[in-house]
Amino acid sequence: MSADAPLLEVRNLKKHYPITEGVLKRQVGNVRAVDGISFAVDRGETVGLVGESGCGKSTAATSLLRLEEPTDGEVLFEGRDITGYDDAELKRFRREAQMIFQDPTSSFDPRMSIGESVAEPLTVHGMRDRERRRRIVEDLLERVGLSAGDIDRYPHEFSGGQKQRIALARALVLNPKLIVADEPVSALDVSIQAEILSLMKDVQEEFGLGMLFISHDLSVVREICDRVAVMYLGEIVEFARTGDLFENPQHPYTRALLSSIPQPDPTKRGSAIELTGDVPSPSNPPSGCRFHTRCPEVIPPDDYEFEQEAWRSVMDLRGRLARDGVDAAAVREFVASETDQSPESVPTERIEREVRREFDIPDSLSDARAESVLSEALGLLANGDQSEARALLAEEFETVCETTAPELRRTPAGHTASCHLVDETQSVSTPSTSD
């Protein structure tokens, strides 16, 4: 193994869960929780994995440690692929890689003292000397800011922050080289979060650990991580050094996430990017760029000149027509009740205006040809012909974002992102440790 090789390298990792139905559990599809992610963690560095809830972060963690069996891909630890390990090899690997879970309370057996819980990995891996185990646990408890005298107390006697300190001690008891921390401070008060994060950084420096830090709190990630991978709907969409990501994000989803960080400066508040459109299901991800159903910067067709906000609104209408449809009869009934008319007397133009208002589409698009197409589609919709309206909008307003999946490429900013807005200069298959 090369000395320059990363401690952990994940290549095209996938974890799909089957969707079954009926008594015979016939498989009818898959939930693509993790769908081909690649990244690396060096010795002594912290890599953040961020994204919204449900994007696949925790599944990625459990799959790369083989707490769940991955569907496909490679996980190289010190150059060796652990996905092919047998039980004995996997047990040896578990000495080198440990996990800290989000909820410190549920990760402990209430019937075991914390000393027994922290020492349990030592017992599993063959240390029979009870006094030696006790000395190791007492030393670790002191290292994480507790007292050696706490060893015989039980989990219910500790606060959430103290239990997370104990969880860290348990992760360290086998002297691992890698720690995967899954939202380790999200259940704690802000003041306690700062203490735990400071402790984790100190412990990492002392033991020379590599760390994968999973979180949805970007302010925490900014403080603790050396590099950050941004995950959306089972895929990594951007990977960069932390400073580069926060100063010059290249993917629209990353920009939206960063804009949601609370601002202490009152003059900068209210600038968060609002995401509209449909949140896709991992069981049926959209074609092309998976973010295009919500992207505020989705690329318009070449034949039209759109304001971005109006274009996003038209895309939201298209998405609704494709997913659930728009009930023109219900709109007609609503207008009739508001104007004290019979439904039959409501003019088609009023139905079209209500649909525009519902989706925040301007009364008239600035591009005359685009307005002509939209007006025709709204007329079809108002007269109950949804399929024709949907087909017309799909034919005329199709975007590259929905037809072609972008590759993860090096951007002009120097790091990688998968977006059609990025200049296509250098394709990469795995984000390197130098990003």
CA-to-CA dists, residue 166 to 32, 346, 428, angstroms: 34, 68, 40
Q: What is the pLDDT of residues 289-316, one digit of tens each?
A: 999 999 999 998 888 888 899 999 999 9
pLDDT at 135 over 80: yes
pLDDT for the residue numbered 267? 64
DSSP 219-271: HHHHHH-SEEEEEETTEEEEEEEHHHHHHS--SHHHHHHHHTS--SSGGGTT-
Asked, for residue 2, whether it belongs to a domain, the answer is: no
Same domain as 221, residue 85: yes
pLDDT of residue 268: 62
Give the C-alpha separation, 8 to 211, whole Å.
10
58 & 203 share domain: yes
Give yes or no: residues 321 and 201 share one domain. no
- The tens digit of pLDDT for each residue in 375-390 reads 999 999 988 899 999 9
Domain that holds residue 54: 8-225
Given pLDDT bands bounded at 50, 70 and 90, which one contains residue 273?
confident
66-92 average pLDDT score: 94
Place of tokens 């219910």: 156
In this structure, the answer to whether residues 71 and 176 fall within a common structural domain is yes
**One domain, residues 206 and 319:** no
Domain assignment present for residue 60? The answer is yes
The candidate with the shortest Cα–Cα distance to 406, out of 240, 291, 245, is 291
**Any bridge partners for residue 238, and if so which?**
230, 417
Clarify whether residues 331 and 217 are in a common domain.
Answer: no
Residue 376: C-alpha distances to residues 95, 251, 315, 347, 355 (Å): 65, 34, 16, 15, 13
Residue 148 exposed, middle or buried by CB count within 10 Å (0-12, 13-18, 19+): middle
Of 160, 229, 171, the closest CA to residue 200 belongs to: 171
Which band of pLDDT confidence, cut at 50, 70 and 90, is reported for residue 398?
very high
DSSP state string for 38-104: EEEE-TT-EEEEE-STTSSHHHHHHHHTTSS--SEEEEEETTEEGGG--HHHHHHHHHHEEEE-S-T
Q: Which of 376, 324, 332 has its CA nearest to residue 354?
A: 332
Residue 271 located in a structural domain: no
Tell the residue number behind the tokens 């578990």, with chain if given. Answer: 94
CA distance 325 to 387: 9
Radius of gyration of the chain, Cα coordinates, nearest whole angstrom: 26
Domain boundary among 193, 225, 257: 225
The enclosing domain of 18 has a CATH number of 3.40.50.300
Same domain membership, residue 313 and residue 221:
no
CA-wise closest residue to 168 among 153, 156, 179: 179
Closest to 304 measured CA to CA, from 217, 207, 369, 373: 369
Average pLDDT over residues 247-263: 90
- Does residue 280 lie in a domain region? no
- Last residue within a domain, chosen from 181, 203, 225: 225
pLDDT per residue over 10-22, tens digit each?
999 999 999 988 8
| CA distances in angstroms from 416 to 54, 366, 397, listed in the order given | 23, 35, 29
**Is 53 inside any structural domain?**
yes
Does residue 217 register a pLDDT over 90? no
Whole-angstrom distance, CA of residue 196 vs CA of residue 185: 7
- DSSP letters, 283-305, are TSPPSSSTTTTT-TTPPPPTT--
- Whether 315 and 176 map to the same domain: the answer is no
Is 394 in contact with 384 (CB distance < 8 Å)?
A: no
3-state secondary structure of 372: helix
Kind of pairing, strands 8-21 and 210-215?
A: unpaired
What pLDDT score was predicted for residue 347? 87
Instruction: At 338, give phi and psi (nearest 5°).
Output: -75, -35
Q: In this structure, is residue 192 part of a structural domain?
A: yes
Q: Between the CA atoms of 77, 75, 59 and 56, what dihedral angle is there, to the nearest 10 degrees? A: 120
* pLDDT at res. 117: 94
Q: Domain check: are 181 and 44 in the same one?
A: yes
The answer on pLDDT for 108 being more than 60 is: yes
**Residue pointed to by tokens 């034919």:** 395
Coil, strand or helix at 369: helix
pLDDT band at 234 (very low <50, low <70, confident <90, very high): very high
- 212 within a domain of the structure (yes/no): yes
How many domains does the chain contain in total? 2
Does 344 share its domain with 201? no
Report the predicted TM-score, pTM, of the whole model to 2 decimal places: 0.88
Measured distance CA(179)–CA(46) in Å, rounded: 9
Among candidate residues 398, 414, 430, the one where a domain is terminated:
398
Higher-pLDDT residue of 325, 245: 245
Give me the pLDDT at residue 278, please.
80
Residue 319 φ/ψ region, left for φ over 0, alpha for ψ in the -120 to 50 degree band, beta for the rest: alpha
Residue 330: which residues within 8 A CB-CB, separation 6 or more? none
* Six-digit token string for 423: 């200049």
Note whether 41 and 182 are same-domain residues.
yes
Q: Is residue 423 over pLDDT 60?
A: no
Structural domain includes residue 394: yes
- 149-194 confidence digits (pLDDT tens): 999 999 999 988 899 899 999 999 999 999 999 988 877 777 788 8
Residues 200 and 320 in one domain: no
Q: How would you classify the pairing of strands 178-182 and 8-21?
A: unpaired
